[in-house]
Structure 1
Amino acid sequence: MDSPLPFSAFLDVLTSRTAVRQYTEEPVDDAMLDRLLDAMLSAPTAANKRAWAFVAVRDPAQVRRLRAFSPGMLGLPPLAVVACFDRRKVIHDAESFYDTGMLCLAMAVQNLLLAAHAAGLGGCPVSSYRSAPISRLLRLPPHLEPLLLVAIGRPAHPRQRADQLCERHEVIRHEFWNQQPSTADGTG
């Protein structure tokens, strides 16, 4: 990267992203899809295992079939990305790596959502779906388990910045949990 993105612009992308559930019919073209997928694959991954696999779905009929098994998918996005855990890449302690694999997959999805937002698109992760029918529909091999669906498209309505969901002092402490919340200037 020749010149870094100004920090304030980066923070604006992070803090202004909201869940978008209604989309226009404008398709996500090949060039944009490639950029989004590259952003997704640049996510950090534990032990460089990349215990993930993704299916990008743009065919409207296939997206409708996905939606039939996904009550959490509102609207009809022009792109759905199904994020799967790859069980072949599990290390000996399968239970702890499964947890780590889910975290890596979540970071990849976050990259996808942020890249979509920065490109003027919107998205929403969907965890409400029926796994077995989705696996059959996408012809997933047994070692791939769908963990998240991500709907992506051009927002049908102007975005509204979401209210802050929680107060910092409720969820952040410095040095130890039982410390009183402090202010940035150290006075509190």
Structure 2
Amino acid sequence: MKKILFCLMALMGVMTASAQQKVEKNDAQVAINNIMTRTSIRQYTNEPVSKSDIETMLRAGMAAPTAVNRQPWHFVAVTDKAKLAELAGARGMIKQAGVAIVVCGNMEKALPGKAQAYWVQDCSAATENILLAANALGLGAVWTGCYPMDDRVAEVSKALKLPENIVPMCVIAIGHPAERPQAKDKWKPENVSYNEFGKTAE
């Protein structure tokens, strides 16, 4: 009897491990699908973006990797329609958006010297996290650049009354999508080398 019970317990352990592995595989596939289906959305409905969704996206942004964990970012979430119109300029999609998240670098938190430039990489990683979170929430979003274009940096800084140490890197327009473009397949094996430049996989 003890032997049978032991075998049953062992079998249950295998089944539990197998089920756990299946759940983890499913979670991985969901994450990969979210990356592969993300695409730029420039047309939005009039439905507002909820405060909880905005916070979820901001939390995702702050979960990004950052050099020496300096977290040299500051985010400005803009929902006011007049302010969105002021930010838009030639970028009409920002005017339509339910929210614009302006991803900025805080130069007081950036690394010293030449390493200061890492703030752009850190804020870029945060931006991609926000875009992926928006897609996961069923929202549409598009990354519009500011830095290093001086005129755009000046326009956004003026509209948001940013202090000198806060540099806007980009404006992410976000809303409920009014269009469903197909995500582009950007996989190109010729853009990949293995071990040395120009070497293909063996």
Report if TM-score (shorter chain) is over 0.5: yes
SS at match of 1:165: coil
TM-score with structure 2 setting the length: 0.80
Q: Could you say which residue in structure 1 is the equivalent of 2:121?
A: 103
State the one-letter code of the partner of 1:133. E
Alignment of 1:89 onto 2:109 = yes
From 69, 72, 75, the equivalent of 1:54 is 75
Instruction: Output the CA distance in 2 between the equivalents of 1:114 and 1:7.
Output: 14
Q: Could you say which residue in structure 1 is the equivalent of 2:17?
A: none
For 1:66-77, list aligned pairs within 5 A: 66-68=87-89, 71-74=90-93, 76-77=96-97
Instruction: Output the CA distance in 2 between the equivalents of 1:63 and 1:44.
Output: 29
Alignment of 1:11 onto 2:29 = no
SS at match of 1:91: coil
Poorly superposed stretches of 4+, deviation over 3 Å: none
Instruction: Output the CA distance in 1 between the equivalents of 2:100 and 2:92.
Output: 10
Larger Rg over CA atoms: 2
1:137 positional shift: 1.2
From 117, 124, 133, the equivalent of 2:142 is 124
1:22 positional shift: 0.7
Q: Which has the higher helix share?
A: 2
Instruction: Output the CA distance in 2 between the equivalents of 1:178 and 1:165.
Output: 19
CA RMSD of aligned residues (A): 1.9
Instruction: Output the CA distance in 2 between the equivalents of 1:90 and 1:24.
Output: 37
Identity %: 30
CA contact 2:67–2:122 (8 Å) conserved in 1: yes
State the one-letter code of the partner of 1:175. N
TM-score with structure 1 setting the length: 0.86
State the one-letter code of the partner of 2:176. R
Q: Could you say which residue in structure 1 is the equivalent of 2:183?
A: 161
Q: Can you give the 5+ residue segments of structure 2 that lack an aligned partner in the other structure?
A: 1-22
